[in-house]
Amino acid sequence: MTEPPRPPNFGDDPTAPMSGSSGQGGYPPPTGDQPPSAGYPPPGGYPPPGGYPPPGGYPPPGGYPSPGVGYPTGGYGAPGGGYGSSEDKTWALIAHFGGPLGVIVGGGLLGWVAPLIAMMSRGQQSPAVRAHAVAALNFQITWAVAGVLAWVLATITCFVLFFVPMIVWIIPVIFGIIGGVKANEGTLYRYPMTYTFVKR
């Protein structure tokens, strides 16, 4: 079997690049049988100016994305959510939506139970769950105290101010639902009119 003819000035090294028609070194152009490879030859010719390969490697087609664009900044769920898993998101929702449920079932006084359970059950493993549970817990404790004072005030006035406990009962339900909706979107809701009983 005979070896195919070599171009002039090819040398004995079979891995040496062939000479191009312009007198500069280069590889032969791809034939119709070979698919063109993405990103090669690199922009600016071959070899690229400044060395081979350029420092940091070649950028992906279309360039590098801007920081914070195209990638979620949180974890599980919506961008910025900060949930490590679906279980963390579930416990955060329990903390917020459980408050209004406790208010309705407990006559305005038990809204703090669900956030406390969420904080004790999952708060040690997940900082995100702890943040949501503490925010909901502080809000519900504040309004449970306000509910006790409202019932005392209504009793002292022989229920002339019967509407005060009703108002105090409705506020934690409304804001607890808002907090749960925000938590579902991946946002930590800052409850208004809250005293800090439990630190993060």
141 in any annotated domain: yes
153 in any annotated domain: yes
80 in any annotated domain: no
Confidence bin at 43 (pLDDT 50/70/90): low
Using a cut of 0.95, tell me whether the model's pTM lies above it.
no
What element of type H or E holds 137?
helix 127-156
pLDDT > 90 in the chain, percent: 42
Count the residues in the chain. Answer: 200
Q: Which residues contact 112 (CB under 8 A, 6 or more apart)?
A: 99, 102, 137, 140, 141, 144
The total domain count for the chain is 1
Q: Which residues contact 11 (CB under 8 A, 6 or more apart)?
A: none
Query: What residues make up the domain containing 122?
Result: 86-184
176 in any annotated domain: yes
16 in any annotated domain: no
Mean pLDDT of 131-140: 95
Mean pLDDT of 156-162: 89
Mean pLDDT of 66-89: 59
171 in any annotated domain: yes
The pLDDT score that the predictor gives to residue 200 is 76
2 in any annotated domain: no
Mean pLDDT of 36-54: 56
Highest mean pLDDT among 46-55, 78-87, 171-180: 171-180
Q: Which residues contact 99 (CB under 8 A, 6 or more apart)?
A: 111, 112, 114, 115, 136, 139, 140, 172, 176, 179
Q: Is 96 exposed, middle or buried (0-12, 13-18, 19+ CB in 10 A)?
A: buried
The pLDDT score that the predictor gives to residue 55 is 60
106 in any annotated domain: yes
CB atoms within 10 A of CB 86: 10
